[in-house]
Structure 1
Amino acid sequence: MRLAIVTDEIAPDPARAIRLGLQWGIRDFELRKVWDRRVPDLERPDLERLLSFRADEGVRYTALSPGLFKQPLQHPDTRRDLTERLPRTLEMATLLGVEKIIAFGFPRASDDPPDAPEAIASHLRQAAELTASAGLLLCLEPERGFWCSTGAESARTVRAAGHPALRINWDPGNCAAAGERPYPDGYEAVRGLVAHVHVKDYRPGAGGGLGRWVAPGDGVVDWQGQIAALVADGAVPYLTIETHFGPAIEASRLCVERVRAYLRACGAAA
Structure 2
Amino acid sequence: MTAGTGTWALSGFGDEIDADPVVQLSVLQALGARHIEVRSAWNTNVVELSDEQLDTLAALVAGRQMAVSAVASPIGKVDAFGDPETELSRFRRAVRAAQRLGSRYIRLFSFYRPPGTAPADIRDTVLRQLRDYATVAEREHLVLLHENEKEIYGDIPDRVLDLIEAVGSPALRVAWDNANFVQVGVRPFTDGYSALRPYLEYLQVKDALAADGTVVPAGEGDGELLATVTALRDDGYAGFASLEPHLAVAGALGGFSGPAEFGRAARAFAKLTDAIGVRLA
TM-score by length of 1: 0.92
Aligned-pair CA distance for 1:151: 2.2
Matched letter for residue 221 of structure 1: G
CA–CA separation in structure 2 for the residues paired with 1:165 and 1:8: 26
- More moved, 142-151 vs 244-253: 244-253
Match of 2:48 in 1: 41
1:61 to 41, 44, 68: 68
Aligned-pair CA distance for 1:236: 4.3
CA–CA separation in structure 1 for the residues paired with 2:237 and 2:132: 25
Match of 2:183 in 1: 177
Tell me how large the CA RMSD over aligned residues is: 1.6
2:129 to 105, 118, 123: 123
CA contact (8 A) 2:219 2:269 kept: no
CA–CA separation in structure 2 for the residues paired with 1:32 and 1:181: 27
1:99 paired with 2:104, answer: yes
Unaligned regions of 5+ residues in structure 1, if any? none
CA contact (8 A) 2:154 2:160 kept: yes
CA contact (8 A) 2:150 2:180 kept: yes
Unaligned regions of 5+ residues in structure 2, if any? 1-7, 249-256
2:34 to 27, 32, 37: 27
CA contact (8 A) 1:194 1:235 kept: no
CA–CA separation in structure 2 for the residues paired with 1:214 and 1:127: 33
CA–CA separation in structure 1 for the residues paired with 2:125 and 2:50: 33
2:140 to 104, 118, 134: 134
CA contact (8 A) 1:6 1:32 kept: yes
Match of 2:239 in 1: 237
Aligned-pair CA distance for 1:70: 0.8
1:168 paired with 2:174, answer: yes
Instruction: Show CA shifts across 1:184-208 (max 9, x none).
Output: 3221221110111101011134xxx
CA–CA separation in structure 2 for the residues paired with 1:85 and 1:187: 31
CA–CA separation in structure 1 for the residues paired with 2:45 and 2:58: 17
Match of 1:9 in 2: 16
Match of 1:192 in 2: 198
- More moved, 103-112 vs 151-160: 103-112
Residue 40 of structure 1 aligns to a residue in which SS?
helix
Matched letter for residue 180 of structure 2: N
Aligned-pair CA distance for 1:111: 6.6
CA contact (8 A) 2:217 2:264 kept: yes
CA–CA separation in structure 1 for the residues paired with 2:142 and 2:225: 28
Aligned-pair CA distance for 1:73: 1.1
CA–CA separation in structure 2 for the residues paired with 1:69 and 1:238: 22
CA contact (8 A) 1:201 1:213 kept: yes
Task: Identify if the C-alpha distance between structure 1 residues 236 and 121 changes in structure 2 by more than 3 Å, giving closer, same or farther.
Answer: farther
Aligned-pair CA distance for 1:112: 5.1
CA–CA separation in structure 2 for the residues paired with 1:235 and 1:161: 24
CA–CA separation in structure 1 for the residues paired with 2:193 and 2:247: 24
Residue 47 of structure 1 aligns to a residue in which SS?
helix
Aligned-pair CA distance for 1:10: 1.1
- More moved, 20-29 vs 111-120: 111-120
CA contact (8 A) 1:196 1:236 kept: no
Instruction: Show CA shifts across 1:62-101 (max 9, x none).
Output: 111221111111112x33222x111121122111110101
Q: How many residues align?
A: 264
CA contact (8 A) 1:74 1:111 kept: no
TM-score by length of 2: 0.89
Instruction: Show CA shifts across 1:27-59 (max 9, x none).
Output: 111000211111121123322221222221111
CA contact (8 A) 1:195 1:236 kept: no
CA contact (8 A) 1:203 1:212 kept: yes
CA–CA separation in structure 1 for the residues paired with 2:152 and 2:33: 31
| 1:182-261 aligned within 5 A | 182-205=188-211, 210-246=212-248, 247-261=257-271
Task: Identify if the C-alpha distance between structure 1 residues 39 and 23 changes in structure 2 by more than 3 Å, giving closer, same or farther.
Answer: same
Residue 191 of structure 1 aligns to a residue in which SS?
helix
